[in-house]
Amino acid sequence: MVRLAVVSFGALATLCGVADARPASKGWFAEGALGAVNFLPPLASANAAMGPAVGVRIGRDLFSWFSIGVQLAASSHEATVPAPPEGEWFQLYRGAGDARITGRFDRLALFAEGGVGLTMISSNVLGKVMITDPGETYSILFQGGGGFEYQLENRHYSVGLGVDVFVVPQFEKMRGLDTRAFLRYTY
């Protein structure tokens, strides 16, 4: 009788093993982000203050570890150029196509991303310190970075933190650091 109980318990334990966590959804996705953009030395950081940023990203997971997407972001900054003028602000609008490589460890995922796109500056206030040339509004943009994402109980949602460095070569090699918290929904 004891032997039958041990065998039965062993069989039951084998059948009732630890279940794996629900896999994250993959397919089409949308992300919304809030954060801040700070410019890096030497040029733009002395002439533009850190400012709030907002962004969206849409795309598709081609594999569980690789996705492509399009992102749009905007940030607003106070120009800290010598007077006059004083109290001037400008906006930096960025749009890029990007790719993301992700490594998933249960509910936590680490990612690296990079992309190329265009940027637009809303004002010529940085022309005073020779960051932009007269009439210069658009530039190509290169960006790259990484971060992590945590899958919530509902497998379609995740939250995360990301940091990207971007370079705007035509604006006197303006460089910035975009930090953001995001919510992702995968369909």
- For 96-125, write each residue's pLDDT tens digit: 999 999 999 989 999 999 999 999 999 888
| Number of other residues whose CB lies within 10 A of the CB of residue 83 | 8
Q: How far apart are CA 110 and CA 72, in angstroms?
A: 22
> What pLDDT is recorded for position 5?
54
Q: Which two tokens stand for residue 40?
A: 């890096």
pTM reported for the whole predicted model: 0.82
> What pLDDT is recorded for position 74?
98
> What pLDDT is recorded for position 25?
75
Instruction: Give the Å distances, CA to CA, from 23 to 107, 141, 158.
Output: 8, 34, 12
* Domains along the sequence of the chain with CATH: 32-186 (2.40.160.20)
Q: How far apart are CA 111 and CA 64, in angstroms?
A: 12
The burial class, CB within 10 Å (0-12 / 13-18 / 19+), for 40 is: middle
Which 8-state DSSP code applies to residue 79?
B
- The pLDDT profile of the chain, 187 residues, written as one tens digit per residue, is 656 555 555 654 555 544 455 567 789 999 999 999 999 987 677 888 899 999 999 999 999 899 999 999 999 999 888 877 778 899 999 999 999 999 999 899 999 999 999 999 998 888 878 888 888 899 999 999 999 999 998 889 999 999 999 999 988 888 999 999 999 999 8
> What pLDDT is recorded for position 85?
73
Angle in degrees, CA 27, 178, 45, rounded to 5: 165
